[in-house]
Structure 1
Amino acid sequence: MPPLTTRTTCLLAAALLAALAGCGTSGRTTEEAHGGPRKEAAPPPAAPKKTVPAGLPGMPPVLDTQDVYAADRPNRLSPVVKGFPSRIYVPNTNSNTVSVIDPATYKVVETIPVGVQPQHVVPSWDLKTLWVNNNRGHTLTPIDPATGVAGKPVEVHDPYNLYFTPNGRYAVVMASLDRELVFRDPHTMETRKTVPVSCYGVNHADFSADGRYFVVSCEFSGELLKVDTEKMEVIGQQKLPFQGAMPQDVKISPDGRTFYIADMMAHGMWVLDGDAFTQPTLLPTGKGAHGLYVSRDSKEMYVPNRGEGSVSVFDFNQNKLTKKWWLPDGGSPDMGGVSADGKVLWLSGRYDSEVYAIDTRTGKQLARIPVGSGPHGLAVYPQPGRYSLGHTGVFR
């Protein structure tokens, strides 16, 4: 290679300077061109993560934060109940019996004698037992849903209704005339704590999505209670803004934000913010609104209006009533539940000694079945769900 001349050296230097100048037009500094620090645009702030409130200790985790009934889809039966025969258990308050209906034939297949004034048939938290609430007999009669055989009654004073805490730790007896909430062992029913209340007629309840509190209706004084589940203490109380209010069934919305309380004298259901526990508003449904039952797809809620023989249908997404089904020849639809496949709504006819089977797609009456006198809180069993919160079957 020939030696570089002075002219050649100058030309190479000029080319190098030009290259460096060309790099500078990209907007980077010389330091950046050699891999040094470079100023970047600040990244957009990360979207805040949705926090799920910590549930009641020991409570099974929710399956869907937007649907507390996610475990209740059609035929999604727990392994615990898969072998149980499908039956409708009807407590006849005036006959002191439980009528057992085969839903496939619409026939009463057995009549079980129980205690005085049975009010509700309640599935236990572990799904293994049905408890008949003999209100004036002051006993609970256990029924084995696998065999249909009734066991030895357990002494429990004034058991108008029965619930279970979401963690399965306690049974909660709604002692209506005693004016007490009695927390008991869920198996032996031995008393663990008695909570006196100042309202009259505690009867129905439902739990918040995280299980940390529950709302109770007091039918004889027209009041609502808010109860801390873990502390077993009343933490809120209010009078409903309707003269002569008589609140009944309580049910939480799928998204866990709203409680609904049927009122048989205000002829509708109260819409309540459970967390804030502020004054609720009334949504008229029909005369004698009594029970509240959520559809298997969590889209609708059925509201039997006992005083006019109808069922109102509430749409959660639309936040309004969309349909009303009328029973042919009238009736007194009261308490009940939805079939495991979600296709039939079963309701007791409180004043007519009968039970109604209603098609949930059309509202058509499928059957009208004679039973004992004063049928009340019937249980459809088994139903989908991981555990029971009590009443006639509230599953999560």
Structure 2
Amino acid sequence: MTPTTRTPTTRTPATRTPAPRTRVFLATALLLALAPLAGCGDDTAGSAAHQAAAPSASPKAAAHAKAAPDALPGMPPLLDPKDVYAADRPGMLSPVVKDFPSRVYVPNTESDTVTVIDPKTYKVTDTIPVGRQPQHVVPSWDLKTLWVNNDKGNSLTPIDPKTGKAGEPVDVHDPYNLYFTPNGKYAVVMASLDRELVFRDAHTMKTVHTEPVSCYGVNHADFSPDGRYFIVSCEFSGELLKVDTERMKVVAKQKLPFDGAMPQDVKIAPDGGRFYIADMKANGMWVLDGDSFARPTFLPTGKGCHGLYVGRDSREMYISNRGEGTVSVFDFKKNELTKKWHLPDGGSPDMGGVSADGEVLWLSGRYDAEVYAIDTRTGKQLARIKVGKGPHGLAVYPQPGRYSLGHTGVFR
């Protein structure tokens, strides 16, 4: 399968050409980006620095949180070892973001813009020009900056979520998607067409290590509870990777057992026992034991299974089925699908996130130049908002959590 099968946005292999040189990121923008962490050279100091940089909205819970002895050095300990999303409850906004205006940021891949929506009024408040083919809007580890991944523009555009203003772009080649290691030390660029995982300094975005991969189309990921490894999906070759976070090395690879598999979003279960991988060609999600990395099982959800979003109570996960205009609801405790919501007049629900209060699921309509707001209690469509062409990885911001692991908002 070749990259030309990705629609409506086409990304084709090409000889690498140098990205146009953009100006050095302004000092003010750097201050808004990931703050320097003392742990870059010392793990013990790093742990203390990260605790200060990623305060919990629940001091009582934080006081009882203890780092696992085998956890990634410098990673803030989970608030609840039995629930990786325990810091994501409604109202648990970090002091860093509590005064940020609530907005939905929508990257339009074919319009080279980011549409900004007020979620209270469902009105477009701004349209921000960015680089060529913006794919995702990604919250930085320290929550202070939103990075727009300009894939074909070979750059990242920073947006200050406090003011809504964009800063100077930073040169980064093939940034299809962006993640951050749980200790906040590195940004991990999913360089899809370059066939690379590029570990960059999370403050300066300078390359630290480039890990070549043999699979094609690295795009989405999620981390183990202890942060020691992460699972990566390879869209165009139908493969999964297991990557050692600290060593920055691919340690295992497997081909999915479906002809033409096209894995997309990756999300870990609240208890950390398994990973779920959406597959838009198999029309469902794979269920993987990340520790053993054994052959996964499969659960059908709907045509074009694409995005995975965990509810604020860690009980359910919302699954967008882009090819049929539906959202499936998966119950973690029951280990089964319990509902399917149909968008009126169809649609192409793609990527997005859950509102800070957990009551609204926001999804981009990839093929229809629109965004959907869906009531998470009833599945009713609350709004359908016109945006630019090819809307993709929208970010709802701010959201609860102490720090961001990247993508459109994966918080711990």
Give the TM-score category using the shorter length.
Answer: 0.7 to 0.9
Q: Decide whether the 8 Å contact of 2:68 with 2:77 is kept in 1.
A: no
Supply the AA of the counterpart residue of 1:340: A
Counterpart pick for 1:349 among 343, 357, 365:
365
- Residue 140 of structure 1 corresponds to 156
RMSD (Å) for aligned C-alpha atoms:
1.0
Does 2:160 match 1:129?
A: no
- Residue 115 of structure 1 corresponds to 131
Q: Which residues in structure 2 correspond to 1:139-288 (within 5 Å)? A: 139-288=155-304
Tell me how far 1:152 sits from its aligned partner.
Answer: 0.1
Unaligned runs of 5+ in 1: 1-50
Tell me how far 1:187 sits from its aligned partner.
Answer: 1.9
Supply the AA of the counterpart residue of 1:56: L
- Residue 104 of structure 1 corresponds to 120
Alignment deviations for residues 10-61 of structure 1 (CA, whole Å, 9 cap, x no partner): xxxxxxxxxxxxxxxxxxxxxxxxxxxxxxxxxxxxxxxxx95521000001
Task: Name the SS for the 2:396 alignment partner.
Answer: strand
* Distance in 2 between residues matched to 1:84 and 1:216, nearest whole Å: 31
Counterpart pick for 1:296 among 312, 335, 356:
312
How many residues matched?
Answer: 347
Tell me how far 1:248 sits from its aligned partner.
Answer: 0.1
* Distance in 2 between residues matched to 1:196 and 1:383, nearest whole Å: 33
Supply the AA of the counterpart residue of 2:146: L
Which range is displaced more, 52-61 or 93-102? Answer: 52-61
* Distance in 2 between residues matched to 1:115 and 1:384, nearest whole Å: 28
What is the TM-score normalised by the length of structure 1?
Answer: 0.87
Unaligned runs of 5+ in 2: 1-66
- What percentage of aligned pairs have identical amino acids? 82
* Distance in 2 between residues matched to 1:311 and 1:74, nearest whole Å: 22
* Distance in 2 between residues matched to 1:224 and 1:162, nearest whole Å: 17
- Residue 51 of structure 2 corresponds to none
Task: Name the SS for the 1:275 alignment partner.
Answer: coil
Task: Name the SS for the 2:182 alignment partner.
Answer: coil
Alignment deviations for residues 91-127 of structure 1 (CA, whole Å, 9 cap, x no partner): 0000000000000100100000000000000000000
Does 2:397 match 1:381?
A: yes
Supply the AA of the counterpart residue of 1:322: T
* Distance in 2 between residues matched to 1:154 and 1:346, nearest whole Å: 28
- Residue 41 of structure 1 corresponds to none
Q: Decide whether the 8 Å contact of 2:350 with 2:363 is kept in 1.
A: yes
Q: Decide whether the 8 Å contact of 1:72 with 1:296 is kept in 2.
A: yes
* Distance in 2 between residues matched to 1:241 and 1:75, nearest whole Å: 41
- Residue 372 of structure 1 corresponds to 388
Larger Rg: 1
Counterpart pick for 1:62 among 78, 102, 114:
78
- Residue 326 of structure 2 corresponds to 310
* Distance in 2 between residues matched to 1:374 and 1:281, nearest whole Å: 32
* Distance in 1 between residues matched to 2:407 and 2:71, nearest whole Å: 21
Tell me how far 1:260 sits from its aligned partner.
Answer: 0.1
Counterpart pick for 1:79 among 87, 90, 95:
95
Q: Decide whether the 8 Å contact of 1:164 with 1:172 is kept in 2.
A: yes
Supply the AA of the counterpart residue of 2:257: P
